[in-house]
Amino acid sequence: MTATLLPGAAYALLVNVPALDPKVLSGGQHFIIVGTVSLVALLLAGAVAWAAYHTPDARTVTLALALISMSGIFLAHGAGTSRWFPLAPAVSTTAHAGHAPAYSDFGGAYGTPAATRATPPPAGKVQAARRQAVGLSARLSLMVSALWLAHAAAGMPRRVADWVVRQRLALASVMLAITAGYAVVALWFPVWLSWAPVHSHELSWAIAVIAWSGFGFAGWRFAQAYRLASLPLQGTMALAMAYLMQAQWFMLRGELWRLSWWEYHVTMLAGFLLPALGLLWQYRINGDLGAVVEGLFLRDTVSGLRQGDPRALGALAAAVAAKDSETDEHTTRVGDLAVAIARRVRLPEERIELLRWAGRLHDAGKIGVPNRILRKPGPLTPAEFAVIQRHAARGGRIAHRSRLLARAAPIIRAHHERMDGSGYPDGLRGDAIPLEARIIAVADVWDALTCDRPYRAAMPPSRALAVIHAERGTKLDSACVDGLLDVLATEPHTTAA
């Protein structure tokens, strides 16, 4: 919460303490910082576009379009102030402190009141038009990206989403062409944009309200996903939306060339740099860029589960993978082993497919566990173990919200219960534990013992078998343990991770 308010607090300090808010008049520096913002946004767009290509998802495609449009339009804004594109000098007719002679006011495009706006100079028509296009580009970059981001966060009807996925390359190409075309017009043919009422105070506020609405909605959706899963990319995207909303305010109200006005550029840079760092952090842990980006929209995955969308099961599995690749591999192995054990204990065939999904998603609740705990190389503290224990109940709640997984909710919730009542979260005993949960418990323990974990190396199969035998009948169901032993005897490859 504190990080969210930092830009606003800095802006308030600057505008209320004039000595801290000097003018910094430099078109060259302006181009450098705008170019940096655009480059970061473009690199982020490239990573998301790559993920959209390899993991087809309409929301990911839309997110890529948002970043492409923002980076291109904002780059046109910055390039318009560089030495390669001279602007007509703005000559102020008033003593308004926010406007300096010999420096462009960008055509009043930042919302400057009409009474203080610079008089159009007797310079070339193209240079005067370019000055206005610079300000128009700044506002459009935020508004257009806000609309795309809101669209990505909201999702779309299935038929539309399927069409977006099929046409993702064409859509990206069209967006690149439109953005590049706009930049060419704004820089070389700015007169074509002279029709835009950039001096309109009402238009400035209307664009700002649209941008705030889009960023606000997207930020709310990303924050909801972060509260459920605590993935770094979700958190940084929610924080980025808050920063971009503040940047829009600084742009609208900041006094041109003052340090407080420059802050909107820095805030925008932070707004795109944070998600880029979150993406890199998760990718370093997970190694699957597609899964990382897919996990960003976990809230929509839960909504899809609730509505009975079969694609949501795969998306939830991707979210688990985004959290931790080892958790993803573990749950797949447990699901397969649980099915093999179930056939040994003669579980009815109609219950086996449900068991398979329950096994593969039994650790779905771990998407809400911080990585510093999941991947801790040493023993957990009591407080950390308490956080880990919550994953069973959380996974049960996620499943309970789903039409597809509702029947699996008690299984997922109870997979850490033990026959003697020493398990969690409800301390169930014996037959009060669903049979499917008892099967998963055996498969889960076996896989945990025989695979490398962050806190210890894998046990040899003989030692793992000794542990299983020691817990047979006390903590683990005897029939399920016998089923595991039969699987190991008839399918020796199961003893390998």
The residue extents of the domains of the chain are: 2-287, 324-495
Q: What is the mean pLDDT of residues 100-118?
A: 42
Average pLDDT score, the chain: 82
Residue 95 has pLDDT above 80, yes or no: no
Q: Which of 321, 401, 400 is nearest to 363 (CA)?
A: 321
Distance CA 435, CA 345 (A): 10
Q: H/E element holding 203?
A: helix 201-229
Q: Which of 361, 351, 375, 257 is nearest to 312 (CA)?
A: 361
- The pLDDT confidence band at residue 230, using thresholds 50, 70 and 90, is low
Q: Which of 344, 297, 321 is nearest to 438 (CA)?
A: 344
Spell out the residues 6+ positions from residue 339 whose beta carbon is closer than 8 angstroms to its own: 352, 355, 356, 359
Residue 366: C-alpha distances to residues 228, 385, 389, 396 (Å) = 10, 12, 9, 11
The token pair at 476 is 């683990």
Q: What integer pLDDT is reported at residue 298 of this predicted model?
A: 65
Q: What share of the chain is helix, strand, coil (3-state, %, to 5)?
A: 75, 0, 25
83 CB-side CA count, 13 A: 4
Residue 411 has pLDDT above 50, yes or no: yes
Q: H helices of 345-368, where?
A: 349-360
Spacing of C-alpha 243 from chain mean position? 15
Distance CA 271, CA 277 (A): 11
Q: What integer pLDDT is reported at residue 132 of this predicted model?
A: 84
CATH topology of domain 324-495: Hypothetical protein af1432 (1.10.3210)
Q: What integer pLDDT is reported at residue 93 of this predicted model?
A: 35
Q: What integer pLDDT is reported at residue 37 of this predicted model?
A: 86
Residue 258 has pLDDT above 50, yes or no: yes
Residues comprising the chain, all counted: 497
Residue 90 has pLDDT above 90, yes or no: no
Nearest 5 degrees, angle CA 309-CA 310-CA 314?
Answer: 120
Distance CA 242, CA 229 (A): 19
Q: What integer pLDDT is reported at residue 307 of this predicted model?
A: 60
Distance CA 447, CA 464 (A): 9
Residue 97 has pLDDT above 50, yes or no: no
Q: What is the mean pLDDT of residues 189-211?
A: 87
* Dihedral over Cα of 184, 190, 195, 196: its sign: positive
Q: What integer pLDDT is reported at residue 305 of this predicted model?
A: 60
Q: What is the mean pLDDT of residues 320-342?
A: 79
Q: What integer pLDDT is reported at residue 121 of this predicted model?
A: 44
Burial class, 127, CB count within 10 angstroms (exposed 0-12 / middle 13-18 / buried 19+): middle
- The pLDDT confidence band at residue 290, using thresholds 50, 70 and 90, is low
Contact 485, 447 (CB under 8 A): no
Q: What integer pLDDT is reported at residue 302 of this predicted model?
A: 60
Residue type at position 47: A
The fraction of the chain above a pLDDT of 90, given in percent, is 34
Q: What integer pLDDT is reported at residue 312 of this predicted model?
A: 66
Residue type at position 247: A
Distance CA 128, CA 148 (A): 31
Q: What integer pLDDT is reported at residue 321 of this predicted model?
A: 64
Higher pLDDT, residue 453 or 99: 453
Higher pLDDT, residue 375 or 159: 159
Residue 484 has pLDDT above 70, yes or no: yes
**What is the reported pTM?**
0.69
